[in-house]
Structure formats: C-alpha cells, structure tokens
Amino acid sequence: MGSLPEDDQRKVLHALVLFCGQARARQEDVPESIARSGIRPTQAPAAMLTTWRSGMGTLPAHELTKSFRPLVALFSITDTRRRTLHCAGGCGHAWHNRAPGGRRRSSSATVERPRTAPRRPSDGGAVLLLHRAIVPL
C-alpha cells in the first residue's frame, strides 16, 4: 500500500472501513484483527479500532500503512463469518464465488438471483485502488 500516493491510500482505507461495516464487523472482532495484523495494540490504528473510532484516513501519512493491516484482518474475520452464516448454502455474491486464478465458479454452486446494475463506489474507484494495494501491478 505504501507505493500508492497518499490520497489513494486514504481512499483505500475509507473503502476498507465501508467493507468492514457492510460485512457487519463487531467490536469483539477487533482484538483478533489486531493480533492477526501484527501491529502492537498500543499503536494508533489499533487504539482507534479498539475504541471503535473510524477516521483512520485522518491519521498522519506515516500511519496509513499500519492502518491497512488491521482493517484487512478485520474484514477477513467478518467476511468469513458472514460467508459461514449467510452464504453457506450458496449466494449470488460474485466475490464469494471465485475459483483459484480469479475465474468465476460454475453457477451450479451458487443461488441464481436477478441481475441488477452493479453499484459503483461513491469514492470514485476505491475498490480498484484497494485491489492495486493488495495485488501490485
């Protein structure tokens, strides 16, 4: 993530906070996410998560990369729980139905749902920036 310009890093953090909220992050998930991230519980991003304060995008530039790791860990925890509880019998979420290599799995493993127009992120491309932060070009 450190290779992205600072403005893009802030957009990625904002998108991650939204993803965590959408995946129904809980306060009790925070200690596990901090442990998985490898940052110390006393560092600013960990303290912000522990007190359930968003606003990591307002941290100084040198704290942005440290903020990314616990948010990705939090999203991993919450999305795994969501998959287990709500999507175990199959779902229409494209991101839950990817085969290794990024190809979509056959539709027989998913529940067919009406297709709707994809919703675009309100921050103008944070999802693409998030992908670039995780998988550098």
Tens of pLDDT along 120-134?
Answer: 344 434 444 444 444
| Mean pLDDT score across all residues of the chain | 75
What pLDDT, on the 0 to 100 scale, is given for residue 89? 78
Determine how many CB atoms are found less than 10 A away from the CB of residue 85: 9
Phi-psi region of 125 (alpha: psi -120 to 50; beta: other; left: phi over 0): left
- Total-model pTM: 0.68
DSSP label at residue 94 = G
